[in-house]
Structure 1
């Protein structure tokens, strides 16, 4: 009985936090400027082309050339920040806001260890994670195990945020798809750089919540085995925006009015169905199984108010051989309290990979 009550408290905490952040007037809701017009049509077409991925399709990606500066350096570790032009093609580049054209990364590495004897994990941003700090704190303790951390600042976030956007509240539905598509391209290029230029012996990709969805997509599309580590993540953005707490943070009336300007008047329920159809493009179960399913570890929360259990289990079912680990808590409390479990999943996922032959 006590366990049930504690679980319910975690679940309630998610809803209280969601109500404070998403139902107050502190910031505007998501998609207050509508669907995104022709940009949405472009993104729907481009994302459809991602799957099913043909062997070797769109590989290798554009080779990036980051410009690095050292932030700090100790006897045992070094933190650098890099800037590079997003490798997105001209269609995506023209759709991205100018502020998002240059990507930023933080790179935390152990010193005096050859790259071929190290692993590196690319950490992708969850909703509202505008800075490097949280993900660097997650990865920092792994330096002792010769695991480096590469943190990508997402398009539309941090210094890449459009001038008119308030916080994480994207202005158009097309921005959500664009953020995801650009993040995938940038993360794939970072993995390619870590492999071909930096020479790391093993690689992985992880993320929390939205970042976990993107990590799953990147791991799916990578042509060689990488550790794929989605944390507190749904199988699709449909779960977050149409079923979960974020449905209360969505400007449904603005979306209805935007459609009404082009089509016949629609009910709010029809608008929600349109949203489901658009966001079905983010359904990771439609993506290929990563090359080493044994190195896929999902970490999910038992009482998550944002991500229901069925969504996590759909991904596990779609990717046979993957593992789900459950932590006791909700979305918010697990985000705060279970970093050690996330780190253990990273270590275990990497340990299930073979070292590159050049590392032996």
Structure 2
């Protein structure tokens, strides 16, 4: 009898999928146009402004007012899509491609329930998640628990994708920082809108992979307790692009040539070290611990080829009081098979927030 190690199979699946997506010639690699020039220098300074010493100085954010249209409606729920001008300041707005200036959201809300007795979780996009559908499927079953789902379309993705960009492969390193900074600003404004305009009783933010990193940052910076739910996410983009499978889909030679054109000669190893330094700005462990760490639940995979286990352990160490839950699988298989665990984390995180009324959520399957 042959004994099969399922952990190895999950890990191999990640690498097979990664080889197909990132080592083949189906699309260009990440950052094929280089670093982003002076835009990168500007963004490094802007990202630093998210750190603890001045995190509270830009609250409240600009209040967005989405323009809504109803997509469908039943006796129990309503799905609307909204458009709003990104609330980013002028400097950040001008750095974004024109296609990304208008943000889009999908909003799935239970009917016949007052907002103060509902919760809403903002779902942020992982790498390559261009549409609303996957995240709506994740949040849809929670409607019966009086939990609304708001799905944000990321800059550089979906209808916000620049004309010259192919799929999810960002053209410049600066685009990755732009995507993150704009996502954080938009999410904070949406949470402010849900609180002040809609009056939701509880709120949270979640995301898978890259979306989990952004969710952790938003939860860290939010001035009041919210549920913070990063799924299959690293502590930093350094891990994703310099250690995990995505390093094989990164245009290292193009990045080296971009520096050489500026009279900066580097070896490929030195280029990788520069990437580590730049992406260290996305290190969640440098962000403040959220106001209620007990409502922070990380869901990680045991055999993740994209996110090394040590990265999750660094998050657990940096944010005492948070919870890490492990699911058996790799990055790809967990993405496909463990939506129930992600929903359970959402419910549990929300249940750890104070509630104005004597109301609680039951565990979702």
Query: Partner residue of 2:194?
Result: 194
Correspondence 1:159-178 to 2 at 5 A: 159-178=159-178
Distance 2:359 2:200 in 1: 8
Correspondence 1:200-279 to 2 at 5 A: 200-279=200-279
Query: Partner residue of 1:156?
Result: 156
- The RMSD of aligned alpha carbons is 1.6
CA contact (8 A) 1:116 1:358 kept: no
Q: Deviations over 1:143-171 (max 9, x none)?
A: 01000000000000000000000000000
Deviation of the 1:56 alpha carbon: 3.0
The size of the alignment, in residue pairs, is: 360
Structure 1: which 5+ runs fail to align?
none
Deviation of the 1:188 alpha carbon: 0.3
Deviation of the 1:262 alpha carbon: 1.2
CA contact (8 A) 1:239 1:307 kept: yes
Structure 2: which 5+ runs fail to align?
361-365
Deviation of the 1:261 alpha carbon: 1.2
Tell me if 1:100 matches 2:100: yes
Distance 1:163 1:189 in 2: 27
Distance 2:29 2:141 in 1: 36
Distance 2:73 2:264 in 1: 61
CA contact (8 A) 1:300 1:312 kept: yes
Query: Partner residue of 1:319?
Result: 319
TM-score (norm 2): 0.96
Correspondence 1:1-360 to 2 at 5 A: 5-54=5-54, 56-356=56-356
Moved more, 350-359 or 183-192: 350-359
Deviation of the 1:356 alpha carbon: 4.4
> CA distance change for structure 1 residues 120 and 53 in 2, over 3 Å: closer, same or farther?
farther
CA contact (8 A) 2:116 2:200 kept: yes
CA contact (8 A) 2:87 2:189 kept: yes
Question: Secondary structure at 2:300's aligned position in 1?
Answer: strand
Question: Secondary structure at 1:31's aligned position in 2?
Answer: coil
> CA distance change for structure 1 residues 7 and 55 in 2, over 3 Å: closer, same or farther?
closer
CA contact (8 A) 2:117 2:357 kept: no
Distance 2:358 2:224 in 1: 15
Moved more, 51-60 or 316-325: 51-60
Question: Secondary structure at 1:127's aligned position in 2?
Answer: coil
Distance 1:36 1:171 in 2: 8
Distance 2:294 2:86 in 1: 31
Distance 1:43 1:132 in 2: 28
Q: Deviations over 1:209-247 (max 9, x none)?
A: 000000000000000000000000000000010001001
Distance 1:170 1:90 in 2: 22
Distance 2:91 2:32 in 1: 24
Distance 1:254 1:357 in 2: 57
Q: Deviations over 1:94-118 (max 9, x none)?
A: 0000000000000000000000000
Moved more, 347-356 or 101-110: 347-356
Question: Secondary structure at 1:56's aligned position in 2?
Answer: helix
Distance 1:224 1:349 in 2: 14
CA contact (8 A) 1:13 1:330 kept: yes
> CA distance change for structure 1 residues 345 and 53 in 2, over 3 Å: closer, same or farther?
farther
Distance 2:14 2:110 in 1: 36
CA contact (8 A) 1:239 1:311 kept: yes
Distance 2:90 2:33 in 1: 24
